Amino acid sequence: MKKPFAITLDPGSSLHNHTGSWRTQRPTYVDRLPPCNATCPAGEDVQRWLYHAEAGDYRAAWEAILDDNPLPAVMGRACYHTCEGACNRAQLDEAVGIHAVERFLGDLAIREGWPAPAPAAATGKRVLVVGAGPSGLAAAYHLARLGHDVTIRDAMPRAGGMMRYGIPRYRLPREIVDAEIERIVTMGVRLELGVRVDDLPAAMRDGGFDACFAAVGAHLAKRVDIPAADAGKILDAIGLLRQVEGLGDAPLLGRRVVVYGGGNTALDVARTAKRLGATDAVIVYRRTQAQMPAHEDELREALEEGVLVRWLSTVKEMGEGELTIEKMTLGADGKPVPTGELETIAGDTLVLALGQAVDLTPLRAVPGVRFTPDGSVEVGPDLMTGYPGLFCGGDMVPADRTITVAVGHGKKAARHIDAYLRGGAYEPAAKHAPAGFDRLNTWYYVDADRTVQPQLEMARRVGTFAEVHGGLDETTALFEARRCLSCGNCFECDNCFGVCPDNAVIKLGPGKRFRFDLDFCKGCGVCARECPCGAIEMVAEEI
């Protein structure tokens, strides 16, 4: 039998048809900003480290996280993963469990003892960081990486700020906090605990510091004046959580605990009360569930543990073993309005969880420092105050008060402080256009349900402070990382190479992606239409 006739054309042959002159548009490779990256307050390059994780290179993935965030094991537990709320995969099946993979990498690094990256050459500049919470620790870490000499001072006996004194152990084990702090200290960062700074300019001057980053947490509880009988016990949420952490005498709450407030701290206190032996833990909140500022997952877990919520209610009076509450209704503007209808509920202790404020005493007399009406510090886009060399971040400035935001402020401040110390200005790189779901070819991706993290059984959840959520193992972490769609950025799937009818796509080698040979591309657009992640764009030819 005869073989079919075939010829192979050399690109330089006169028989090879040059089609470039036919085109009205040409393809071009682009990089777009994935929604996970765009919504991360810490500025993590989520897609980049997931790429390493799905290849099984866990150390490279962890080191990529550390370029932006020195606390991945903490963040994988305590952040509210806005990245997952924006994940394009949620429109296909379920969002990628980004926080769970990050936690796996952070825990693996702790177990393996992976060290922090080596600092750059010493600059001879000294920076004071006031506050050993997530923002101060992040700033110190990035400044140390840049070669600066850093000292952290904190008034508390242990480092960690609200990670230690505001988040219960069942959400964030202390050995995890300690391990990630220790890694920062081993970079040469000095940690001075039990040291309160009341005069920032004097501290900078006397210590020979060239700049200062202040990131004092919101440790002051807001209070309301509630009439109480002599035997009525009223505590504040932050004070209670500190007592549980070992600051002061162990709290004696009684069997029936009422928590007044609707934020995450209120839920933390109610769940903590159950773990301390309270038979009843009731949250009184003056608005509706839809208006509650606490996160849905936190509320769901609290309800699972037996916490009760009295919606549209406010505390009027604390008596001996009971409280008087008033029912509310929503007015035309959606705000709660008193009804005058009173009710008595049992309660041995009332805990106020009505928000926190920052102690701004160290800044009140600093020349040039200004404050917002709500008690925050005014800063510029570079986080510097009106006092040269003094920067502020975290809970001190207007922003959401979360660990992720605080870590992002620390990184941002470090970059601007570094530029300030070098006599320049830091200019962040321009961001790419967003990678929307409409640009994806989802047929390319197989259905893969999100990995569910294991949970502690209920009997142990309410009886101990053991961690509620377990982590992923290597198999499940690898599977979860591979659910990433690589939105907007080429991952070398070879689709464009395979579908091009003109052999105009040229492979450049592993990690180098592709290029188009425009002498032979006729601009049909098949490559752009078939790119799974939307990394090819058709642009008009110039005439």
Per-residue pLDDT reduced to its tens digit, 41-52: 999 999 999 999
The whole-number pLDDT of residue 5 equals 32
Cα–Cα distance between 397 and 378 in angstroms, integer? 7
Domain segments of the chain: what residues? 20-31+490-540, 35-115+431-435+443-481, 126-167+178-220+359-421, 226-356
The whole-number pLDDT of residue 52 equals 97
Can 35-115+431-435+443-481 and 226-356 be said to share one CATH topology?
Answer: no
Query: CB atoms < 10 A from the CB of 23, how many?
Result: 16
* Tokens found for residue 481: 């990382």
Cα–Cα distance between 185 and 178 in angstroms, integer? 10
Rg (CA), the chain: 28
CATH of 20-31+490-540, one of 3.40.50.360, 3.20.20.70, 3.30.70.20, 3.40.50.300: 3.30.70.20
- pLDDT mean for each 10 residues of the chain (543 residues): 35 43 87 97 97 97 98 96 96 96 98 96 98 98 98 97 95 98 98 96 96 94 84 88 86 94 96 95 97 94 97 94 95 94 96 92 92 93 97 95 96 98 94 95 88 93 94 97 96 94 94 93 94 95 78
**Any alpha helices (H) in 8-148, and if so which ranges?**
35-39, 46-54, 58-66, 72-78, 82-86, 98-112, 134-145
Cα–Cα distance between 282 and 270 in angstroms, integer? 7
Of 88, 58, 65, the C-alpha closest to 489 is 88
The whole-number pLDDT of residue 21 equals 59
Range 126-167+178-220+359-421 classified under CATH 2.60.40.1220 = no
CATH class of 226-356: alpha beta
User: DSSP letter at 221?
Assistant: E
CATH class of 35-115+431-435+443-481: mainly alpha
pTM, full prediction = 0.92
